[in-house]
Amino acid sequence: MRVEQWVPVQGAAALCAGVALWRLAERERGLRRARVVLAGAGALGVVGAPGRGLPSLRAVGERWWAVVRGRRAWLCLPVALVLAVLGESPLPLVAGVLAVPLVGRRLRAAALRKEREARSDAVVALCGAVAGELRAGRQPAQALLFAVGATGALGPREEAEVLAAARFGGDVAEALRRASRQDGADGLAGLAACWQVAVDGGAGLAAGLDRLEAALREHRDQRERLRAQLAGAWATVTVLAVLPMVGLVLGTALGARPLHVLLHTPVGLGCLAVGGALEAAGVWWAARIVRGGERA
């Protein structure tokens, strides 16, 4: 594609990207206005009171970060647009559009993993808090009511069920078992078993919770040790993924025009296709090996 044919495509792509960013900003602005209306007049001074000047750079940055934070996968489009302009070809833009769902799925998986680990840590804290309240002289139901509200280990629905069972004399053990079905809340099944044994057999609940907390902490520490041992392997995977981009940057710095060769010559297109496939396969295989070590 010649340069004079590429200019309209470049302008259209830039226009589409600008319209998309403008729509995201308008949507976020509408959400902020709704929050202000629902929150009451006290929040008006935060968003912008009459008589004040233009918003500061920090406020603008925070607003744009709020727009981008939940849509980080869409950052592939500006990067692809820059590469398309530098390489004078629409292929990077097409690749960026295809990469958005893949990157979004990866980011969602990472967010779910963090949420699962945070809930697992909250369950450990819940066991310790209940045991501490029992030793302080509270009744089991009162100790559970306090600990659940203090640790936030349960989701809204599960928390409501457990609190209702503890407050009104329901089946607390069954409510805890249902709550243990949450991702990362497996330790609640142990808490339910300790509660059931204490209710049926009169055993000491605090002692059982101490042993359960120790076991859950050991499991968490083992996970952290394994993650530290695999940090070097994940660094190798990252270097493997970034190395081709480093080669492109070095070639551009030396004046070799690697983007032009890759995007405008048959040999370059073939090398790009084969190299991209090999790169994706290598990263996938290395990540699969590391994840297998994590699961083991």
Domain boundaries, the chain: 114-218, 230-296
Pseudo-torsion of CA 154, 160, 163, 169, nearest 10°? -130
Interior angle at CA 141, CA 139 and CA 145, nearest 5: 115
Q: What is the pTM assigned to this prediction?
A: 0.64
Place of tokens 């090999």: 278
Question: Residue 189 pLDDT more than 80?
Answer: yes
Interior angle at CA 34, CA 31 and CA 37, nearest 5: 155
Cα 16 to chain centroid distance, Å, stands at 27
3-state secondary structure 59-84: HHHHHHHHHHHCCHHHHHHHHHHHHH
Cβ pair 134, 208 in contact under 8 A: no
Residue 44's pLDDT is what? 39
Q: Which residues contact 206 (CB under 8 A, 6 or more apart)?
A: 131, 134, 135
What mean pLDDT comes out for the span 253-275?
87
Residues 203-221 have pLDDT tens digits of 678 888 888 889 999 888 8
Confidence of residue 36 (pLDDT cuts 50, 70, 90): very low
